Structure 1
Amino acid sequence: MEENTYPKLPQSNVVDWENRDYRLTCDDIVDKPVQAAIRNGKGIVKSGDISRYDRWEVELQRTAQGRLPHLGNVTAVLFYCSPQPSNFFMQELRVYRTDDGSEIGRTPTFNVPELPPQYQPKSLVIKNGRLAAAVKFYGPDDSHANGPSILRHITWTWENGRFTTHEAHAKPEAQGRSDPSRQPITVNGMGPLKMGMSRNEAARAIGMPIPGEEGRRVCTDFTVEGGPEGLLLRFTSDRLVAIYVTRPATTIATRSGIHIGTTRDDVLNTYAGEITAVTPDYGGEELVFAPSAPGFAGRVIRFEISDGAVETFIAGERDWAVFAPSCGGPE
């Protein structure tokens, strides 16, 4: 009897997403992706250009599968990446073809002036022709310790060879006074106060006057009328370049919770890997936090240390966030 023959069906290679090699940037900490060997959903990256860190601790947080227009069956992979030593983490969302695991592309980094927002891993889905996730953004009253509180629903579509972000805008802050003493300080500003604002823009942002005229020196430190004593806003050529905190403003803190009186060791541990101890010309010691993320480039927080604790601190543009410039009070 003649044996029946049938055409062989193509074998499907099932991709094991938790056990394979990926190429990541730790959400743009570096420009060129480096190889990350993920095994059982986790991996350590030590080789390649990983910036100034000793290693990246990487974890696969979630995968989601579905169909996207023009792409077909895809798998989205959300990565957690913590550069070490440091006390922060980044997330990176990349999309691959489900059948062979080849990479299609990644979603853009969020361009925000504050700390990077946080994906809610369980919310990641592909439906209705879109990639979607819930993402929490930092608000003006949020701190690094407590985490972000503004929830937005983000979607991405594939357009012109790349992923395009669609997000619901946060509701504008209520008009009126914004108590500066309740706002955390970052290298980019303090709540609604942003580096680069004019004095009029800054006054409108907080709903409080910033009286006086710029002095004859290269920069002027202004107080806020009705604001906390010890808070100074540094302007040069009508541009906010630094925020200076002195006594008695001991409750004003950075987003990571550092304030006047915080111990030197706590500062070093909080900003591990991104802080340097320096000896200024006038003596003593300063700790300079210089975040490496692209959105913070060129800006620092400088802490003056006295008797093992923070005596004062200043945040803003590197050339202006210093303790002994040729600055004075307003005229």
Structure 2
Amino acid sequence: MVDKPVKVEVRNGKGIAKGDDIGGYDRWEIEVQRTAQGSLPSLGKVTAVLFYCSPQPSNFFEQELRVYRTDDGSEIGSTPTFDTTPELPPQYQQKSLVVKDGRVAADVKFYGPEDSHADGPSILRHVTWTWRDGHFITHVVDTGSEDRGAVDLSHQPITVTGMGPLKMGMSRGDAAKAIGSPIPGKEGRRVCTDFSVEGGPKGLLLRFASDRLVAIYVIPPATTISTRSGIHIGSTRDDVLDTYAGKVTATTPDYGGEELVFAPAAPEFAGKVIMFSMSNDVVEAFIAGERDWARFAPSCGAPE
């Protein structure tokens, strides 16, 4: 926000910065959100500190994760920033910060293609940092079942890139590990297979092709599963058009009816869509994922 560092006195984890050095704001509200202690290879005992800064008046905030030597308080370094748009930076989940097993680790939520600044980010990932050659190296992995138990998919919104810890391109084994539940059966003889999750919501199908998750398919009775923007089976045609204003194309398939296709404009989501099958101007099913596979016809086979 400014070119030169600003000194802030922090007491009981909070502080206020004022003056001409903080840019066009009345004040910065500073907070130490969490500290975590442990040991890192070649560094010894360290303390990781998650800082929070909210310039006022504004509707945004910044977070920064820095690591210090526990014995003398000297700063070792900060973790690298994430390669995301500056307007929608990811958010650290402060209670998850730990120093464990030779790593600094935290859960971080990233913005997906349907997320807005008002609603906040929806994609939860587990991030770790290791110290190497004088700086921290970032390792980002999808959230999985380790130490978390099975994921309740009935409460996970669907985007073009996946559903909760499920990400397009995952193998079936990695997907099962990520959600903490088996995905039983063998791939059928067709080019793609729609699998159900053991113990998962009825009507939720994971489409795999050559052992890659390529789409997520929702059919009745899964009427409560929705997209990140809240569209679900039973939503009206106007709901879809209003929600994805200007980004929906209507098509008429050979078998009749109507399909509404949402295709995000951002380059990083190119080639991925959410397709809604309509009946009497109401969503009767929808499928999200890679454009070549997120289709209702020809259908994929059931597992053997």
Q: Could you tell me the TM-score, scaled by structure 1's length?
A: 0.54
**1:103 alignment partner in structure 2:** none
Which of 53, 72, 84 aligns to 1:110? It is: 84
**1:84 alignment partner in structure 2:** none
Q: Which amino acid aligns with 2:235?
A: T
Corresponding residue SS for 1:276: strand
Q: Which runs of 5+ in 2 are unaligned?
A: 6-20, 25-59, 61-80, 92-107, 125-135
Distance 1:205 1:271, change over 3 A: same
**Length, aligned pairs only:** 206
Which of 293, 296, 300 aligns to 1:323? It is: 296
CA contact (8 A) 2:143 2:178 kept: no
Partners of 2:183 and 2:82 in 1: CA distance = 38
Larger radius of gyration: 1
Which of 185, 205, 219 aligns to 1:232? It is: 205
Q: Which runs of 5+ in 1 are unaligned?
A: 1-63, 69-73, 78-90, 92-106, 120-135, 152-164
Give me the identity figure in percent. Answer: 65
CA contact (8 A) 1:305 1:312 kept: yes
Distance 1:243 1:166, change over 3 A: same
Distance 1:323 1:166, change over 3 A: same
Give the Å deviation of 1:149.
7.4
Distance 1:149 1:216, change over 3 A: closer
Corresponding residue SS for 2:228: coil
Q: Does structure 1 residue 267 correspond to structure 2 residue 240?
A: yes
**Alignment of structure 1 residues 71-110 onto 2, 5 Å:** 110=84
Give the Å deviation of 1:168.
10
CA contact (8 A) 1:218 1:326 kept: no
CA contact (8 A) 2:171 2:212 kept: yes
Deviation digits for residues 134-188 of structure 1, max 9, x if unmatched?
xx84489x9657323799xxxxxxxxxxxxx998979956432001111100000
CA contact (8 A) 2:235 2:282 kept: yes
Deviation digits for residues 95-131 of structure 1, max 9, x if unmatched?
xxxxxxxxxxxx98518xxx95479xxxxxxxxxxxx
Give the Å deviation of 1:278.
0.7
Q: Which amino acid aligns with 1:321?
A: A
Q: Does structure 1 residue 66 correspond to structure 2 residue 66?
A: no
**Alignment of structure 1 residues 252-291 onto 2, 5 Å:** 252-291=225-264
Corresponding residue SS for 2:286: strand
CA RMSD in angstroms comes to 3.9
Partners of 1:171 and 1:312 in 2: CA distance = 27
**Alignment of structure 1 residues 2-151 onto 2, 5 Å:** 64-67=1-4, 110=84, 116-117=88-89, 137-138=109-110, 146-148=119-121
**1:215 alignment partner in structure 2:** 188
Q: Which amino acid aligns with 1:196?
A: G
**2:71 alignment partner in structure 1:** none
Partners of 1:203 and 1:67 in 2: CA distance = 48
CA contact (8 A) 2:111 2:120 kept: no
**2:166 alignment partner in structure 1:** 193
Give the Å deviation of 1:75.
10
Partners of 2:298 and 2:209 in 1: CA distance = 12
Partners of 2:192 and 2:160 in 1: CA distance = 18
Give the Å deviation of 1:230.
0.2
Corresponding residue SS for 2:227: coil
Q: Which amino acid aligns with 1:110?
A: T
Q: Does structure 1 residue 249 correspond to structure 2 residue 222?
A: yes
Partners of 1:206 and 1:242 in 2: CA distance = 16
**Alignment of structure 1 residues 296-307 onto 2, 5 Å:** 296-307=269-280
Which of 171, 174, 177 aligns to 1:204? It is: 177
Give the Å deviation of 1:312.
0.3
Q: Which amino acid aligns with 1:301?
A: I
Distance 1:171 1:193, change over 3 A: closer
